[in-house]
């Protein structure tokens, strides 16, 4: 497992080859073995390939363009839009797109109580653990992945289109890698660990 943890890197260039459905299922089976707060398992994975992937990414593109040109739902994050368009390009290239829903969540544009925020934090952490399992299982099977949060700029368009009743967490692109990027820098242990 340390091998997959070390070898996993975000992949932003993919080969065209489709991914075997059995492998997609194996990867998601690893995802659902993650721990979750109160064992709520608040995740749902929606897999898109081919024309259905193109359709959902067209919707995302509409949302990004709307966010750029008209109504800014995330005004303070406007500077992140060029990166979001770049992420969209990568998502189009990857043969598989997995959208991730927090089935227990609500739209981030709705007000939230402190109690619900705590629950949401726990559910988000649970889904993060599940996504990491997914990435590591994909790495073990020789696939590349990209964890994506840039869906947030098209939150309304995507959640309407997908019929999300909970909260759209983000997405993962999956496919055979067509690059082997160098590891991104990490903070030193001394910087982030405190032994008391
Ligand atoms: C919650 C989350 C959201 C991310 N969203 C994006 C994204 O929208 N687009 C992108 O290109 N990378 C995205 N990434 C990938 C990070 O940029 C990447 O993990 C980080 O730079 C470290 O590189 P590595 O994954 O190769 O170790 C995201 C990663 C996480 C954990």
**CATH number assigned to the domain comprising residue 82:** 3.40.109.10
Which ligand 1 atom is nearest residue 181's CA?
Answer: 26
The rounded Å distance from CA 87 to ligand 1 centre is: 10
Q: What is the pLDDT of residue 73?
A: 94
Which ligand 1 atom is nearest residue 12's CA?
Answer: 11
Q: How many domains does the chain have?
A: 1
Q: What is the pLDDT of residue 1?
A: 80
- Cβ burial, residue 77 (10 Å; 0-12/13-18/19+): middle
Ligand 1 neighbours (beta carbon < 6 A): 9-10, 87, 146-150, 184
Residue linked to tokens 């193109």: 54
Comparing C-alpha atoms, which of 109, 104, 137, 108 is closest to residue 123?
104
Q: What is the DSSP letter of 187?
A: -
Q: What is the pLDDT of residue 71?
A: 77
Q: Is residue 111 part of a domain?
A: yes
Q: Is residue 73 part of a domain?
A: yes
Q: Is residue 127 part of a domain?
A: yes
**Contact residues for 111 (Cβ-Cβ < 8 A; gap 6+):** none
Which residue numbers in the chain have pLDDT < 70? none
**Contact residues for 143 (Cβ-Cβ < 8 A; gap 6+):** 19, 23, 27, 174, 175, 176, 177
Q: Is residue 18 part of a domain?
A: yes
Q: CA-to-CA distance for 75 and 138, rounded, in angstroms?
A: 35
Residue 129 belongs to domain spanning: 2-175
Q: Is residue 194 part of a domain?
A: no
- Tokens linked to 34: 């993650």
Q: Is residue 74 part of a domain?
A: yes
Contact 177, 85 (CB under 8 A): no
Q: Is residue 15 part of a domain?
A: yes
Q: Is residue 189 part of a domain?
A: no
């Amino acid at each position: 497992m340390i091998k997959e943890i070390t070898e996993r890197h975000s992949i932003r260039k993919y080969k065209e080859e489709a991914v075997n459905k059995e492998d997609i299922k194996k990867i998601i089976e690893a995802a659902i073995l993650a721990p979750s707060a109160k064992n709520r398992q608040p995740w749902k994975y929606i897999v898109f390939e081919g024309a259905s992937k193109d359709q959902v990414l067209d919707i995302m593109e509409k949302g990004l363009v709307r966010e750029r040109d008209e109504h800014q739902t995330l005004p303070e994050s406007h500077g992140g839009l060029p990166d979001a368009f770049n992420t969209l390009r990568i998502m189009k290239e990857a043969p598989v797109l997995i959208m991730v829903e927090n089935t227990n969540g609500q739209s981030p544009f709705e007000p939230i109580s402190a109690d619900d925020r705590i629950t949401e934090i726990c559910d988000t952490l649970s889904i993060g653990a599940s996504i990491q399992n997914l990435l590591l299982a994909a790495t073990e099977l020789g696939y590349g992945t990209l964890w994506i949060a840039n869906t947030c700029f098209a939150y309304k368009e995507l959640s309407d289109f997908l019929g999300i009743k909970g909260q759209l967490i983000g997405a993962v692109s999956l496919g055979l890698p067509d690059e082997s990027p160098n590891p991104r820098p990490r903070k030193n242990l001394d910087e982030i660990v405190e032994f008391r």
